[in-house]
Structure formats: structure tokens, C-alpha cells
């Protein structure tokens, strides 16, 4: 996890512009480099490093003797860099996994490069010999990337939008800053002036398609067919493989643990594999919640069962409310449920950075979207519509849960690993018949739970624990986190302000005081950038007016059982 930043064709003094690069310093607390491009005085790279792999030669932009005309700045992890080396006979000059991008590009061009990378990544690749700039981002956008391109060819690229919004340019303060689409690469021509022109934007991978890099995966061909035992076995094999490949790190590994199915499965398999690999330190797991919250109680059970070194972070409503503005600044969104769910993750990440030496943090993001874990999936009109909704959610992950997971951890210099979004695992799960993937017997994620039922990885009551309502597992049973927030905000926003909300904010107008309050804080830091959020996250098929599952009829908390 690092922060990348680059400018091409800047009219302004680069020493002034590079102040913008410091806005993402939190992403790489270990080192910083700012480097001009030879022969292009108005082009430069900025890089903030979190040293996780190859502590000696990991600074960027990466340049190697074999390709003196290539410059690479990337954020992410390429899990199959050793397999690719073996497959194609690459001779690496460093231990940095991202070096493989240079070798793949030299061998087969940008399309093959992007398609053969098994991992999470956002990259800027400059080829001065052929005068090209390439941008690329992984399938689900696990690693963030933003860009701004003016009409006269000034290009700015950054891990977070906050590193671009204050750039100076002769034609304007700044054109439209927008997220770079996941699963795409872009080709741009580099002119002698240092300015660029976009040539094409290409979608290189659709999450439903088996990725091209399967040819050099460590798991061989899987048994085919959709009989239940085969499917369950394949799910176990692929998910364990997804966790195993993510163990690549020279820094300590930890795991977020809410006590829900997803993070519990990740933690249990992670600990099992760490023992098999004789990793010398114990696995630290981290749970956050208010006193006696459902998540804390459940996480305690899981930690005791798997034998992790467990940490509990207890926060009160005042601490949660005080963090909201910092959370919105980090997130760069005003989405209601994203902000609610981010507070706990932001505070636990702060604890991990201050009180422990864990840096590489595993988490359960992506499972709800992939395995139909949201409570409203019980109301899906048909298996086919449920499958379509699952795919829509995966496509938009970079706007919601993946955005939350990246920004809240990156704000504190941590690196996130999300095995549920492994390319091979997700493409296999999505290839299964729609009727196999829907909730059954009133239980969401039924197939995933069933696949691990005989594994003894988790206590039965955790394996079959119902979905908690978004961020509400962190709150006490008596009063949900969203109720606490609404009670506080009710005093902060006047009724008259809410009545005139649509006039003040015509795009995505706030419908509640809570929504209005978040929008105000967002506009304070990112005025006029409301288009970064195309729409609010809301459940489907249930006529919901609030994104919390506790407002849905199907929701059944432990206190009601």
C-alpha cells in the first residue's frame, strides 16, 4: 500500500504543484520521493512508500537497467510475480513484485500486462522511447486511482482525489477530477511538450470471466460440474488459495475480526496457513465496538476458537461522533452507509497503527456482494435478478465498501488484503447456477456457509450467525449506531435547512438530517465534487428509505431471538 502521484504537461512550477502530492503522505509513512522525468521538465512522479516487500530496493518510480526508457509508479501487490518469472524466464533486478509490470510490458504490450497480473494494483507506466503513458487499475478497484485531464492535455494522476483538487493550471484551477474505472487501462500519447492526448480506454477484465493469469496459478485445473460436493470443495480450495497467496509480506500480518462470517473465515484460514508456513509470530486479530456490542462478543468466541492474539477496541458514541469529519475527509464521499460503517474501521485502524506492529491487514470485504449476503437478497424476485444485483454491487464496490476499506486503513498507513475479491475465486463463484447462490431457509450466504460446515474452522454458531446490519454490530443491542448518529445530528441540522436541501444540493439532494450533515462536511473539503458519488447506496426490492438493515422487516437481531 503506497501513494502514487504524477503530472504530465504542468504549466506551473513543479515545486509548487508537488505540495499537492503531500496530501496523500498518510498512504506511505516510510519514505517519499519526488522525481522529474529526463527530457520533460514539466513531467514528474511523486511516491509515498509503505515498505512491505523488498525494503532495500522498493522505492519508486521503479527503473531498471534493462529498460532505461520505462518509468513505473504503482500501488498494490502482484501475487503471481514469481510464477510469471518462471513462466516467461524474466530476470528481475529487485525483489519488488511490481517489477514484473516492466517485463510483461516489454514482452507483450499493455493489454497482456494488465490481463496477466493476479493482484490488486493501480499503476502509471511511462514509456519515453515510444512516447506513451499508460494507466491501469485492478478488476474491483481495490487500489484507488483518480485522474484529471484538461482540454489542452495536462494530466494529473493520484491515489486519492485530494492530491489533485488543488493543482494549478493556466486554463483553470482544475478540470474534473474523477475516479479511474476498475478493470480498465488507458493509453495516452506523450507529446514533446509533455502534454498528453488520450488514445483509448480499454476494459481488460470482466469479473465474470476466468482471468488469463489462471495459466500460471498455483491451483491446477478444478473438477468441473455443479453437483454440490464438487462445488463446495472447489469453493474451499479456491478461497484457501486466495488467502495463501496474500501472505506475501515482509511486515507483520494482522486481521480485522467482527465475529461475522466473512472476517471469521478469513481469520481462521489465515491462522491455519500461518502455522503451516511456520510464521514465527502469533496472528493479531482486532475487533471494535461499543461496550458489549454483538460484534465484540462474537469476535471473542472466534478468537478463542482459532487461538489468535486478540485485541478489543472499545469506543463510545462521543468518540465515534468526533471522528466523523476526519472520516469524511479520508473517504472523499458523502454516502450515508459508507460513512456509518467507516467510523469503526477508521478507529480500529488508528489503534492498530499506534499500539501494534501489524501493518498488513486482512479483511472480509467483497463477500456480501459476491455471495449475496445483504439482508434484502431475501426479497429478490428471482435467482436471476439476485445474480444481476450481485454483479451490479461488485461493479460498484470501488464507490462503496472497497473505498471504505482502503481509505480507513490507508489513513493510518496500513495495507489492506481482501481475499474474497480474488479474481479466480470470484469468477468461479459467479459461474455457478443462479439458484445455487441465493439465500436458503431464511439464511443468506447459504452456499458459502455450507461449503465450510465440515471444516471445523469455526464454531457452528459463528458459521451460521445471521448478517449484522452494516455498521450496527459495533453498537449496543439496545441502541444501534445509526440511531445514535441520528439523535446527535437531529440537534445539529435545522428543519428549515433540510426543507431547502434540494435547492442547495440539486445533485443527490439529502433527504434526511443525517444525510444533510454528511453533505455539509463533504462540501467543506470537496466543494462542487458531488458527482464522485453517482447515487446513494440503498437496498433493492424493499422500498427502503434508510440503508440500515435494522430498518428492514426481515432483520432479526440477537436481542429479538
* 147-166 burial code (b ≥16 CB/10 A, e <16): bbbbeebbbbbbbbbbbbbe
**Are 431 and 438 spatial neighbours (Cβ–Cβ below 8 Å)?**
no
DSSP state letter for 443 = B
The length of the chain is: 561
Q: Where is 43: in which H helix or E strand?
A: strand 40-49
Given 2, 43, 44, 73, the catalytic residue: 2
- Yes or no: say if 386 and 372 are a contact pair by the CB < 8 Å rule: yes
Give the dihedral sign, CA 390/393/397/402.
negative
Residue 129 Ramachandran class (φ > 0 left, ψ -120 to 50 alpha, else beta):
alpha
> What is d(CA 526, CA 529) in angstroms, rounded to the nearest whole number?
6
Contacts of 83 (CB under 8 A, 6+ apart): 216, 217, 218
List Cβ neighbours of 172 (8 Å cut-off, separation of 6 or more): 150
Residue 255 annotated in active site? no
CA 424 to each of CA 89, 262, 317: distance values in angstroms, whole numbers, following the listed order: 24, 18, 40
Binding site listing: 97, 256, 288, 363-364
Grid coordinates standing for 25? 503522505
Question: What's the rounded Cα separation, in Å, for the pair 513 and 264?
Answer: 35
User: Binding site for ATP: residue ranges?
Assistant: 256, 288, 363-364
Element (H, E) at 312: strand 309-314
Binding-site residue numbers for L-glutamine are 97
- Which residue is associated with the grid cell 442547495? 504
Give the active site residues: 2
Amino acid at each position: 500500500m503506497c501513494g502514487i502521484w504524477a503530472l504530465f504537461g504542468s504549466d506551473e512550477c513543479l515545486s509548487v504543484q508537488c505540495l499537492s502530492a503531500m496530501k496523500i503522505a498518510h498512504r506511505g509513512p516510510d519514505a517519499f520521493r519526488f522525481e522529474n522525468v529526463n527530457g520533460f521538465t514539466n513531467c514528474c512522479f511523486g511516491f509515498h512508500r509503505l515498505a512491505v516487500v523488498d525494503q532495500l530496493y522498493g522505492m519508486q518510480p521503479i527503473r531498471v537497467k534493462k529498460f532505461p526508457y520505462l518509468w513505473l509508479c504503482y500501488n498494490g501487490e502482484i501475487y503471481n510475480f514469481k510464477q510469471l518469472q518462471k513462466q516467461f524466464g524474466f530476470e528481475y533486478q529487485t525483489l519488488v513484485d511490481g517489477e514484473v509490470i516492466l517485463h510483461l510490458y516489454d514482452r507483450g504490450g499493455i493489454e497482456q500486462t494488465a490481463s496477466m497480473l493476479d493482484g490488486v494494483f493501480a499503476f502509471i507506466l511511462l514509456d519515453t522511447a515510444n512516447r506513451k503513458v499508460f494507466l491501469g487499475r485492478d478488476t474491483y478497484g481495490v487500489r484507488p486511482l483518480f485522474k484529471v485531464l484538461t482540454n489542452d492535455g495536462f494530466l494529473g494522476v493520484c491515489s486519492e482525489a485530494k492530491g489533485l483538487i488543488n493543482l494549478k493550471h493556466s486554463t483553470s484551477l482544475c478540470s474534473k477530477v474523477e475516479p479511474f474505472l476498475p478493470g480498465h487501462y488507458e493509453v495516452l500519447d506523450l507529446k514533446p511538450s509533455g502534454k498528453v492526448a488520450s488514445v483509448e480506454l480499454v476494459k481488460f477484465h470482466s469479473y465474470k470471466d476466468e482471468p488469463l493469469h489462471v495459466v500460471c496459478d498455483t491451483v491446477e485445473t478444478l473438477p468441473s460440474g455443479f453437483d454440490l460436493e464438487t462445488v463446495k470443495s472447489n469453493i474451499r480450495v479456491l478461497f484457501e488459495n486466495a488467502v495463501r497467496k496474500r501472505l506475501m509480506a515482509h511486515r507483520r500480518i494482522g486481521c480485522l475480526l467482527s465475529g461475522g462470517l466473512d472476517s471469521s473465515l478469513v481469520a481462521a484460514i489465515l491462522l491455519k496457513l500461518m502455522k503451516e508456513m511456520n510464521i514465527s509470530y502469533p496472528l493479531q486479530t482486532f475487533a471494535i465496538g461499543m461496550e458489549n456490542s454483538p460484534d465484540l462478543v462474537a469476535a471473542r468466541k472466534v478468537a478463542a476458537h482459532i487461538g489468535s492474539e486478540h485485541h478489543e477496541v472499545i469506543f463510545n458514541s462521543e468518540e465515534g461522533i468526533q471522528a466523523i469529519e476526519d472520516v469524511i475527509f479520508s473517504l472523499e464521499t458523502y454516502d450515508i452507509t459508507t460513512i456509518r460503517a467507516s467510523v469503526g474501521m477508521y478507529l480500529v485502524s488508528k489503534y492498530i497503527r499506534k499500539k501494534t506492529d501489524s501493518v498488513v491487514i486482512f479483511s472480509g470485504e467483497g463477500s456480501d456482494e459476491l455471495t449475496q449476503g445483504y439482508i434484502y437478497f431475501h426479497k429478490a424476485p428471482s435467482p436471476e435478478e439476485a445474480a444481476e444485483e450481485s454483479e451490479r454491487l461488485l461493479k460498484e464496490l470501488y464507490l462503496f465498501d472497497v473505498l471504505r476499506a482502503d481509505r480507513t486503513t490507508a489513513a493510518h498507513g496500513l495495507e489492506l488484503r481482501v481475499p474474497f475479491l480474488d479474481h479466480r475465486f470470484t469468477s468461479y463463484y459467479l459461474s455457478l447456477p443462479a439458484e445455487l447462490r441465493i439465500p436458503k431457509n431464511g439464511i443468506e450466504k447459504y452456499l458459502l456457509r455450507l461449503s465450510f460446515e465440515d471444516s471445523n474452522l469455526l464454531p457452528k454458531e459463528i458459521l451460521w450467525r445471521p448478517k449484522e446490519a452494516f455498521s450496527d454490530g459495533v453498537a449496543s443491542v439496545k441502541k444501534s449506531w445509526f440511531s445514535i448518529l441520528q439523535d446527535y445530528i437531529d440537534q445539529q441540522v435545522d428543519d428549515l435547512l433540510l426543507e431547502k436541501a434540494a435547492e442547495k444540493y440539486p445533485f443527490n439532494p439529502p433527504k434526511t438530517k443525517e444525510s444533510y450533515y454528511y453533505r455539509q462536511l463533504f462540501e467543506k473539503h470537496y466543494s462542487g465534487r458531488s458527482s464522485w458519488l453517482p447515487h446513494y447506496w440503498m437496498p433493492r426490492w424493499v422500498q427502503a428509505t434508510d440503508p440500515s438493515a435494522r430498518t428492514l422487516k426481515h432483520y432479526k437481531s440477537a436481542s429479538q431471538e
